[in-house]
Amino acid sequence: MNFFDRLRIKYDTLTKTGKKIADFLFKDAMTFARMTAVDIGRGSGTSPAAVIRFCRQMECDSLEQLKMEIVRDISPATKEKVLNPIFLNTDNTEQIVDKFFNYVDLTNKKVYQMLDVALIEQTVDLMDRAKMIYLFGINASSLPAYDLEHKLNRVNIPCVYHLDPHMNLEFSVGMTADDLAIAISYSGETKEILLSAEKAKEKGAKLVAITQKNNNSLAQMADILLAVPSDEKRLRIGAVSSKLSQMFYTDLLYLCLIQKDFDRVSDFLYETSELVNKLL
């Protein structure tokens, strides 16, 4: 894996001093590669010892090895991989296209690195056995919820979701212990989602949460946590990384679920397609 991709994936797990060194590296990687441990420590506001620890965290035996990896991955042949996916008001269209491509690619890699196959299998098993699947999501998190609801109902898998969060909250009263609730919230602190999740637990339904792995309120309530990367700040230009991460999970759950009974599902897909084609 490219060094810079590896660093971004590991970034959230770094210590406070490790993040300072990583931020310093991202500012000017080529200059970083020419510096000594003393210079890097001084420039990043840390210490030479912290720099050596940072190298080990990045799976490098020495500072020299780390610098060699940096130089290798900022060569012209791999230049596009080094783009820091931060959008600036001075970017032209080509730069935005390149950065967005890297952003999407990096987000998918982060989710893949965090993903626990056993938890996916457990969730799919719960979905398969559930009498009814209840989905909860609001604002940007409503998009993956709505998309999954459409996919499931299209193949005759009972699912409830409404774009109006207050109506969704009302629907949650009808849950039973035979049902499954899937709550989607990047922050894990959205009031409407938490109230719905609390009602699911009160009714005895299993709760799957798609949220950050940061001990937020929703994560603490969940029977199963499908964790997304903590990439976005409170002040953001729009939900991009969080939406992509959530839809990675919802699409994956759908694909794994229909694979269990693909012959039956394919019949529904074919019949639906035939019906819709009559509109053409």
Question: What number of CA atoms fall less than 13 Å from residue 185's CA on the CB side?
Answer: 29
Residues 26 and 134 in one domain: no
d(C-alpha 193, C-alpha 173), whole Å: 13
Number of domains into which the chain is organized: 3
pLDDT at 77: 41
Residues 166 and 184 in one domain: yes
Residues 120 and 169 in one domain: yes
Question: Which amino acid would we find at residue 228?
Answer: V
Decide which of 95, 114, 133 is a domain's last residue.
114
Decide which of 26, 56, 78 is a domain's last residue.
78
d(C-alpha 258, C-alpha 266), whole Å: 9
pLDDT at 235: 43
d(C-alpha 88, C-alpha 96), whole Å: 9
Token code pair at residue 20: 């300072």
Residues 105 and 122 in one domain: no
List of E strands, the chain: 133-137, 159-160, 180-184, 206-212, 224-228
Residues 26 and 88 in one domain: no
d(C-alpha 208, C-alpha 151), whole Å: 18
The CATH number of residue 9's host domain is 1.10.10.10
pLDDT along the chain (280 residues), means of 10: 79 88 90 93 96 94 91 59 54 80 82 93 97 96 96 93 92 95 95 96 97 90 93 58 92 95 85 88
d(C-alpha 113, C-alpha 54), whole Å: 20
Residues shown for the chain: 280
d(C-alpha 62, C-alpha 229), whole Å: 28
Residues 242 and 263 in one domain: yes
d(C-alpha 143, C-alpha 239), whole Å: 11
Residues 164 and 47 in one domain: no
Decide which of 53, 78, 103 is a domain's last residue.
78
Residues 46 and 73 in one domain: yes
What three-state secondary structure class fits 160? strand
The H or E element spanning position 136 is strand 133-137
d(C-alpha 17, C-alpha 14), whole Å: 8
Residues 156 and 37 in one domain: no
* Helical pair 117-129 and 241-259, crossing angle rounded to 10 deg: 60
Residues 69 and 177 in one domain: no
User: pTM of the predicted model, to two decimals?
Assistant: 0.70
Residues 142 and 268 in one domain: yes
d(C-alpha 53, C-alpha 167), whole Å: 52
Parent domain of 102: 83-114
The CATH number of residue 124's host domain is 3.40.50.10490
Residues 124 and 106 in one domain: no
